[in-house]
Amino acid sequence: MYNILIVEDEKEIAAAIEVYLKNQNYNVFKAYNGIEALEIFERQEIHLILMDIMMPGMDGIQATVKIRESSNVPVIFLSAKSEDMDKILGLNIGADDYITKPFNPLELLARVNSCLRRYTSYSNASAVPDHVIKIGGIELNDASKEVFADGEPIKITPLEYKILHLLMRNPNRVFSIEEIYEKVWNEPAYNPDTVTVHIRRIREKIEINPKEPKYLKVVWGIGYKFEK
């Protein structure tokens, strides 16, 4: 049984989400601010976090930054705002997905199920036979799920790894944003703009000058490619 942590300062919303999740046989923990969330996260084995952004004390952004120091557990942001900057900020600090309140319970459950499938697939990846892809100074080890830039290990999230693996496995092939989303998220392109944010984060980790990338390049009006 998966353990899901709901971090939401509006208790009625937290209680409603708890009902939806328990009906799907998930085990639920609840916190009403970022500080409580970190305390529960330290004590319990959490497999996914539903994180509200605006909360008293410690907000969702601060809590996620702290969690990302030691864990790649999936985080889905719950935001009452629909502005692009909130979504981009959340993805930039390590969130895997976002959903805007008010939300459809079925959509919420679909996002939860999708994130857990990706996370468990990544966690069980040690069964994959050893395989190394090396292009220039970038090396990707598909057995250990490690990435190296000029011999130095790069800290990379599961989603970033999957995007990089897709592009490096098909060097010089141009993928559209929608195509990347569908292949990596394994679902229709609900939020294709998230791909652009993840690409930017990957560049910051593997490129000497992210503004003039050597490897991960944009083909304007079409998509992205990993240049060999």
Domains of the chain listed by start with CATH number: 3-123 (3.40.50.2300), 126-226 (1.10.10.10)
Q: Is the peptide bond before 102 cis (omega within 30 degrees of 0)?
A: yes
Residues constituting the chain: 228
pLDDT given for residue 84 in this prediction: 61
pLDDT for 26 equals 94
Instruction: Decide if 61 contacts 89 (C-beta within 8 A).
Output: yes
pLDDT in tens, 193-214: 899 999 999 999 999 899 999 9
Q: Which regions in the chain score pLDDT beneath 70?
A: 81-84, 86-87, 120-130
Query: Residue 190 has what pLDDT?
Result: 81
Backbone angles phi, psi at 76, to 5 degrees: -110, 120
Region of 157 on the Ramachandran plot (φ > 0 left; ψ -120 to 50 alpha; else beta) = beta
Cβ neighbours around 134 below 10 Å, total: 11
Backbone angles phi, psi at 226, to 5 degrees: -105, 115
pTM of the model: 0.59
Q: What is the DSSP string of 185-198?
A: HSS--S-THHHHHH
Residue that the structure tokens 């690409």 belong to: 199
Rounded to whole angstroms, how far apart are CA atoms 69 and 95?
A: 13
Strand pairing category for 138-141 and 132-135 = antiparallel
